[in-house]
Amino acid sequence: MMDRNADAPWSKFDPEVYVDLNYRTPFMADLLIVGLIRDYFSRCYERGVPASAWGVDMGAGANLYPALSMLPWCQSVHLLDHVTQNVEYLEKQASGGGYDTAWDAFWEVLSQAPAYRDVEPRSRFRDIVRVERADLLDLDVQRRWDIGTMFFVAEAMSEHPDEFRRAVECFMDALGRGAPFAAAFMKESREYQIGAHTYPACRVNADRVRESLEPFTAELEIHDLDHMVRPGHEGMILALGRRNAAIAAP
């Protein structure tokens, strides 16, 4: 039987084990992706930094680099995740002590661009990040963000293609007209293991990702990366773009 989002063992998800597996020692693929987002967002805002933009990272889990990539552009960054342990991990990262040194390697790549260089990331992260527990598939669409990221969520939350498409749609629905976004997907991923627990994945490739995003975008570039970070997938796909004007009524 295929696992739907609601059936996966999220209550057993361990953010520390997840960071150890994926980010404690940075993979080339993530560093490459961080550089691509940095340059894309820098291009989007080359005419000036918005006065009061709100950013969102959907299904932030235990990954800070999407939020770090939004720091220079935002007055406020919201990190949303459905899983209590991830919310607690993120709250700790945004609290007084400052985030873990594991994330410094990613900031180092970001800080190679001028807009990032002048930001003091730890204090900025603490000052502007707000963490919220929310279900991506059941969001309050009254609010729309000005910039957004969604990393390894839509294809890593369910085995069902309809839930993959719905997650992409919900992310797009959460963005305002013209909002720049970055979204990443594991390519052709089978179910994945975190510690003793197995989580569902929906197999997608660059065409599937493009098809799912195209109706919502004015500008879209897809990077099809062959880098492997574990057995059971065939690379990573990074989508960079802007939300078009086709906004559903709230």
Ligand X SMILES: C[S@@+](CC[C@H](N)C(=O)[O-])C[C@H]1O[C@@H](n2cnc3c(N)ncnc32)[C@H](O)[C@@H]1O
Which residues are near ligand X by CB under 6 A? 5, 10, 13, 22, 59-61, 63, 81-83, 86, 135-137, 151-153, 156-157
- Closer to ligand X by Cβ: residue 83 or 128: 83
Count Cβ atoms within 10 A of the Cβ of residue 117 and give its class: 0-12 exposed, 13-18 middle, 19 or more buried: exposed
In Å, how far from its chain's centre is CA 213?
15
| Cα–Cα distance, 122 to 136 (Å, whole number) | 27
Whole-number minimum distance, CB 12 to ligand X, in Å? 11
Whole-number minimum distance, CB 176 to ligand X, in Å? 20
- Closer to ligand X by Cβ: residue 67 or 128: 67
Structure tokens belonging to residue 27: 């993979």
Structure tokens belonging to residue 9: 């063992």
In Å, the largest CA–CA distance within the chain is 51
For the CA atoms of the chain, what is the radius of gyration?
Answer: 17
Residue 138 CB contacts under 8 Å (≥ 6 apart), including other chains: none
- Closer to ligand X by Cβ: residue 61 or 148: 61
- Closer to ligand X by Cβ: residue 12 or 122: 12
| Cα–Cα distance, 159 to 13 (Å, whole number) | 17
- Residue type at position 136: L
In Å, how far from its chain's centre is CA 235?
17
- Closer to ligand X by Cβ: residue 78 or 244: 78
Whole-number minimum distance, CB 51 to ligand X, in Å? 28
- The helix (run of H) or strand (run of E) holding residue 225 is strand 217-225
* Closest CB to ligand X: residue number: 61
Whole-number minimum distance, CB 46 to ligand X, in Å? 26
- Closer to ligand X by Cβ: residue 83 or 147: 83
Whole-number minimum distance, CB 63 to ligand X, in Å? 3
Whole-number minimum distance, CB 112 to ligand X, in Å? 21
- Residue type at position 177: R
